[in-house]
């Protein structure tokens, strides 16, 4: 069924009888050409592009719970392509371009809102680093703009310019960055994939991989064995657990990242703002809530919750940057599990097991990557060659020393 304003009008006048389920609820077939493990944003996007762009057939997405219940449904909804390193920037710019045409592409309004993202500068060294980054972005065909304090005062008059411990000295802006209605991304891809024949199988947990002499033949699940020509795993938050079933150890640690939303407010924030001297970034949702986050809790965790010190740290950052927030109330706190890789960048690659492919290690950059991650993983699954924007995301880069370390923190995941 095609969604449109006209359709909404028609249904409104006929008592909304005509709406059908956004996606089917099929039983698993015994065998598929391609099985995607994980019904999150990346898994659903992969299935969608496999079917739509790479003309693949007999595809299933299997999800242990309900689709979109993982990080795609528990993040701070930011999209951007303001990366420093050549291993990352082309990929995230590709993703941003896909975001720009996404809604028309999958006929679902995910409220892609390019309201701009701003990274504040507080020291001269930070400015040098951001200029290097901004130039790198431009070299990669992305947009970047260096803002003076005077410009900032015009666009963001409410920031703390006069009484700051770490004065604002400028900002690096990407106007094409912004936010997206996160749940709608999962639903839009699911609906788009389903309408192209992809089986989305919910409440079906992978309990193991059937691997015979080095080849993966399919997955054992709570609903029985499902055979597959190829298996692609995209299970952010569970990567180590799932791949352990295939006998693999990953260069990944799982950490909890808390996110926050305030009570609804009339519009105050024009776009996404990131504090450069503390852990705080913030945007305002269409519904009016301020959505913000900060640093990960910093210890390995699979619990979707965090603790007070980080909550206080984020609030301190918020107040330091925007003293008018004092009486804004924090409405809800939740936690997501980040698969933090050892250099802070993701992996989209074949494994040493024939027919088993892996997509993960997105740290807290996974949401903005959703379209490109899906496209590139689909490309790899369909053609067995990496997409040109994802050639650096290899497993062996750690062993061979081709690291993509944006923050320069080394093999310490909780610092990325």
Partner 1 sequence: MIINHPLLGPCDAQEFVYKGDASLIDRPDGMADGTDAAFYDYAYLRDNPAGEHRELWYHEQGDRSWLVVTRNTVTHEITSVELARDVARSMGRSR
Partner 2 sequence: MRLRTGGQIDRDTTISFRFDGQYYKGHPGDTLASALLANGVRLMGRSFKYHRPRGVLTAGSDEPNALVELRSGGRQEPNTRATVIELFDGLRAEPQNAWPSLKFDALAINDRLSPFLTAGFYYKTFMWPAAFWEKLYEPIIRRAAGLGSITTKPDPDAYDKGFLHCDLLIIGAGPSGLMAALTAGRAGARVILADEDFRMGGRLNAETFAISDMAGSAWAAQAVAELTTLSNVRLMPRTTVFGAFDHGIYGAVERVSDHLPTPQDGKPRQTLWRIYTKRTLLCAGALERPIAFANNDRPGIMTASALRAYVNRWAASPAETVAVFTNNDDGHRTAADLIAKGVKVVALIDTRADAPKPAGTELIAGAQVIDTSGRLGLAGITVKLANGQTRKLAVGALGVSGGWNPNVAMTCHQRGRPAWDDSIAAFIPAGDLPQGMTIAGAAEGQFSTHAALAGGATKAAQALNDLGITTTKPDLPQAEDAPTKITPFWHVRGDKRAWLDFQNDVTVKDVKLAHQEGFRSVEHLKRYTTLGMATDQGKTSNMGGLAVMAELTGQTIAQTGTTMFRPPYTPVAMGVLAGRSTGTDFRPTRLTPSHHWAKEQGAVFVEVGMWLRAQWFPRPGEKTWRESVDREVRATRNSVGVCDVTTLGKIDVQGVDAAEFLNRIYCNAFAKLPVGRVRYGLMLREDGIAYDDGTAARLAEDHFVVTTTTANAVAVYRHMEFARQCLWPDMDVQLISTTEAWAQYAIAGPNARKLLQKIVDPAFDISNDAFPFMACAEITVCNGCPARLFRISFSGELAYELAVPTRYGDALIRRIMAEGAEFDVTPYGTEALGVMRIEKGHAAGNELNGQTTALNLGMGRMVSDKKDSIGAVLSRREGLTMPDALRLVGFRPKNPQTRIPAGAHLLEKGAAMVVANDLGYVTSACYSPTLESYIAIGFLKNGQARMGETLRAASPLTGEDVEIEIVSAHFVDPEGERLRA
Dihedral, 224, 225, 230, 231 alpha carbons, nearest 10 = 50
Exposed e or buried b per residue across 32-45, where buried means at least 16 C-beta atoms within 10 angstroms of its C-beta? bbbbbbbbbbbbbb
Least separation in angstroms between CB 33 and partner 2? 25
Question: Smaller CB distance to partner 1: residue 159 or 250?
Answer: 250
Least separation in angstroms between CB 256 and partner 1? 9
Stretch that binds partner 1, among 104-112, 149-157, 273-281, 293-301 (CB under 8 A): 293-301
Q: Token pair of 101, please?
A: 């045409």
Q: Which partner in partner 1, partner 2, none is near 249 (CB below 5 to 8 A by kind)?
A: partner 1
- Does 27 bind partner 2 (CB under 8 A)? Our answer is no
End-to-end CA distance of the chain: 43
Compute how many other C-beta atoms are within 10 angstroms of the C-beta atom of residue 279.
16
Q: Is 99 exposed, middle or buried (0-12, 13-18, 19+ CB in 10 A)?
A: buried
Residues in 199-258 that interact with partner 2 by CB under 8 A: none
Residues in 375-414 that interact with partner 1 by CB under 8 A: 398-399, 411-414
The upper half-sphere exposure of residue 205, i.e. CA atoms within 13 Å in the direction of its Cβ, equals 8
Least separation in angstroms between CB 362 and partner 2? 20
Q: Token pair of 345, please?
A: 């960048």
Residues in 136-175 that interact with partner 2 by CB under 8 A: 136, 138-141, 144-146, 157-158, 160, 163-167
Residues in 301-340 that interact with partner 2 by CB under 8 A: 303-305, 307-308, 311-312, 314-316, 318-320, 322-334
Residues 299-328, one symbol each (x = binds partner 1 by CB under 8 A, - = not), give: xxxxx---x-x-------------------
Beta-strand relationship, 281-284 and 272-274: antiparallel
Of 274, 244, 267, 195, the C-alpha closest to 351 is: 244
Of 64, 21, 48, the C-alpha closest to 106 is: 48
- Does 64 bind partner 2 (CB under 8 A)? Our answer is no
Interface positions with partner 1 (CB under 8 A): 238, 240-241, 244, 249-254, 298-303, 307, 309, 342, 398-399, 411-414
């Amino acid at each position: 069924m095609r969604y449109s304003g006209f359709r909404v009008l028609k249904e409104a006048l006929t008592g909304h009888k005509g709406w059908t389920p956004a996606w089917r609820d099929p039983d698993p077939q015994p065998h598929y050409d391609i099985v995607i493990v994980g019904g999150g944003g990346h898994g659903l996007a992969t299935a969608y592009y496999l079917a739509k762009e790479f003309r693949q057939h007999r595809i299933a997405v299997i999800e242990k719970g309900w689709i979109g219940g993982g990080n795609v449904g528990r993040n701070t909804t930011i999209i951007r392509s303001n990366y420093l390193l050549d291993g990352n920037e082309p990929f995230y710019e590709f993703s941003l371009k896909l975001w720009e045409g996404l809604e028309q592409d999958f006929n679902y309004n995910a409220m892609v809102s390019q309201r701009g993202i701003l990274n504040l500068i507080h020291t001269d060294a930070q400015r040098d680093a951001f200029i290097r980054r901004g130039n790198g972005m431009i070299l990669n065909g992305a947009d970047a703009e260096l803002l003076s304090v005077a410009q900032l005062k015009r666009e963001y008059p409410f920031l703390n310019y006069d009484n700051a411990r770490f004065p604002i000295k400028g900002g690096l802006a990407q106007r094409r960055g912004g936010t997206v209605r996160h749940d709608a991304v999962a639903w839009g891809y699911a609906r788009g994939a389903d309408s192209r024949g992809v089986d989305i199988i919910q409440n079906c947990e992978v309990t193991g991989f059937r691997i015979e002499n080095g080849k993966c033949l399919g997955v054992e699940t709570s609903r029985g064995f499902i055979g597959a020509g190829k298996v692609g795993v995209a299970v952010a938050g569970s990567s180590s657990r799932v791949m352990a079933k295939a006998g693999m150890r990953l260069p990944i640690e799982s950490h909890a990242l808390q996110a926050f939303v305030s009570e609804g407010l009339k519009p105050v924030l024009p776009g996404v703002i990131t504090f450069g001297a503390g852990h705080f970034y913030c945007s305002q949702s269409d519904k009016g809530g301020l959505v913000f986050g900060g640093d990960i809790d910093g210890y390995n965790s699979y619990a979707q919750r965090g603790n007070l010190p980080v909550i206080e740290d984020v609030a301190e950052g918020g107040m330091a940057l925007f003293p008018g927030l004092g009486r804004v109330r924090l409405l809800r706190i939740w936690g997501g599990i980040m698969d933090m890789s050892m250099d802070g960048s993701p992996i989209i690659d074949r494994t040493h097991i024939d027919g088993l492919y892996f997509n993960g290690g997105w740290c807290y950059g996974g949401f903005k990557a959703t379209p490109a991650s899906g496209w590139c993983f689909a490309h790899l699954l369909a053609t067995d060659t990496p997409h040109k924007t994802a050639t650096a995301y290899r497993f062996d880069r750690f062993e061979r020393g081709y690291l993509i370390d944006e923050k320069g923190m080394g093999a310490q995941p909780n610092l990325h």
